[in-house]
Amino acid sequence: MAVQGQIAEELARRLHPRLTPLQKGDASARVLPPAYEAYLKGRFFWNQRTEGGLAKSLDYFNRAIDIDPCYAAPLGGLADAYIVLGILGLRVPKEVFPRALAAAESALALDPYLPGVHESLATVLFHYDWQWREAENDFQLALEVNPNSREAHQWYAGLLISTGRPSEAIAEAMRARDLDPLSPLQNAYVGLVHMKARRQQEAIKWCREALELDANHAFSRLILARVLDAQGDLHEALRESEKAAELAGEGMPYAAYLGYVHARLGNRGQAFGVLKRLQELGARRHICAYDIGLIYMALEEKELAFEWFERAFRERAVRLCELGDPAFDQLRSEPKFQDLARRIALPLHADNSYREFNPLLA
């Protein structure tokens, strides 16, 4: 660590005339090695995108903070863990997103130039507040501070695809992947963006790349299942969703998606069995209303689907940003669906087309 600090100081001294104020940091800052190791472990488990992995990431980030309260990076990690818990519907959004915001602000108070925190703030604006223009501004700021941030490029791609700008979204997702080409998460995310852009063959290719890197990465299998569903290969989608649920220990949203695929295949008994288990679990813990609405949609129970999507809107479920996905084509001409999309300002079209559109400039 001492040698790394000396190198950083020398680089900062030589590059000083070319650095902007936003890029300048304290190169002489020292981090206690046990805190740094705990932070890295937190990031490792955070990248798994499972309930168990996120629980471990929170534990390691908090451990790093306890070891070194002046170390800002674990606070940024804590913010990101809360954000992903909200994105996956594992916790109530109104509970975790304010915590994410508080952690990010605490990190910036310790280190105003800390890489990674500005994209966390932008992600809160995007996923929780649905403030598309402000979120885009913050993502651009995050990339000015740290052009090599994988998470900034990845989450900015999510905003772009949600607001109907697939070409830009794919470019951003590819930048994130190119910064970490051996990451199953980044390769799978490229596949996810291609699926949302309705480019299914490319999507399958990238999901296969992710699984070649780690065949036991549950998130990659879930994304592959979603791509196969969008392509109409439902039996393969079922196989992949079963593997994903098994790898994730039947955690959410993996178990819920398995119910969705059963419903798509006409396996109503299995789909209703999943619904029953989810509602039983809901008596003890948070179950995302969006997941239940998705299963009812696949069962073609439209009124029940809209009832649960309305609940998802009230709880500010993050994945309502996915209303532009191919899975929702069957509902796109429904007035209730169009009203829901309007309330979160998504650029959807009743004719099921997916045109290039930028509502931020409208």
Cβ within 8 Å of residue 159, ≥6 positions away: 122, 126, 132, 135, 136, 139
Length of the chain equals: 362
Q: Using an 8 Å Cβ cutoff, are 312 and 320 in contact?
A: yes
> What are the domain boundaries of the chain?
1-30, 31-147
Of 96-110, 167-181, 332-346, the one with minimum mean pLDDT is 332-346
- The answer, yes or no, to whether residue 8 has pLDDT greater than 70, is no
Residue bearing tokens 């501070």: 145
Which has the closest alpha carbon to 117: 135, 103, 136?
Answer: 103
Query: Which pLDDT score is estimated for 354?
Result: 40
What's the pLDDT band for 29 if we cut at 50, 70, 90?
low
1 or 248: whose pLDDT is higher? 248
Helix intervals (H) in 88-116:
93-110
Q: What is the mean pLDDT of residues 270-298?
A: 90
Tell me which CATH homologous superfamily contains domain 31-147: Tetratricopeptide repeat domain (1.25.40.10)
Q: Is the pLDDT of residue 360 over 70?
A: no
At residue 282, φ and ψ (nearest 5 deg) are -60, -20
The model's pTM: 0.80
Query: Is the per-residue pLDDT at 200 higher than 60?
Result: yes
pLDDT digit string, tens, across residues 234-243 = 999 999 999 9
Q: What mean pLDDT value characterizes the chain?
A: 86
Map 41-91 to HEC letters: HHHHHHCCCCHHHHHHHHHHHHHHHHHCCCCCHHHHHHHHHHHHHHHCCCC
Give mean pLDDT, residues 161-188: 94
Q: What is the pLDDT of residues 96-142, one digit of tens each?
A: 999 999 999 999 999 988 878 888 898 898 888 888 889 999 899 88
DSSP 280-301: HHTTTS---HHHHHHHHHHTT-
CA distance 244 to 258: 9
| The two structure tokens encoding residue 260 | 């969705």
